[in-house]
């Protein structure tokens, strides 16, 4: 158990509304990631963070913003949700020690935008 919790786990919202997903870790690791997973596309990196207030874009960052004001929390915001953002969102951490490629994922947040 890597101590990662995502909230909410399920959300239904309407087009144009703002949505914030939260990822919380209990182990104080530097690296945190947000991925989305869609059929036919696999997991795609949205944003990642390498420390408090240090973030970088992934391959599908348009329409998303992130914030990391504390080590333990990494927030993903959809400023104005669109139907194309209906997806399962996974947060992940990379432990500071261990394999570079080993990510520990949260259980996912299923977002439906109507």
Placement of tokens 């570079």 in the chain:
100
Site string for another protein, 69-108 (x = CB under 8 A): ---------------------x--------xxxxx-xxxx
Q: Which residue, 18 or 41, has its beta carbon nearer to another protein?
A: 41
CA distances from 48 to 44, 55, 76, 113 (A): 11, 6, 10, 23
Site string for another protein, 14-43 (x = CB under 8 A): -----------------x-x-x----xxxx
Span interacting with another protein, options 14-22, 56-64, 73-81, rule CB under 8 A: 56-64
Contacting positions for another protein (CB under 8 A): 31, 33, 35, 40-45, 48, 50, 56, 58-59, 90, 99-103, 105-108
């Amino acid at each position: 158990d890597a101590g990662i919790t995502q909230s909410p786990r399920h959300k239904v919202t309407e087009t144009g509304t703002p949505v914030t997903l939260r990822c919380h870790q209990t182990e104080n690791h530097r690296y945190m990631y947000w991925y989305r997973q869609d059929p036919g596309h696999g997991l795609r990196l949205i944003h990642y963070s390498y420390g408090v207030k240090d973030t970088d874009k992934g391959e599908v960052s348009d329409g998303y913003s992130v914030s990391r004001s504390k080590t333990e929390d990494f927030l993903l915001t959809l400023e104005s949700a669109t139907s194309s953002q209906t997806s399962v969102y996974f947060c992940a951490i990379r432990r500071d020690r261990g394999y570079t490629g080993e990510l520990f994922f949260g259980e996912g947040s299923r977002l439906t935008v109507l």
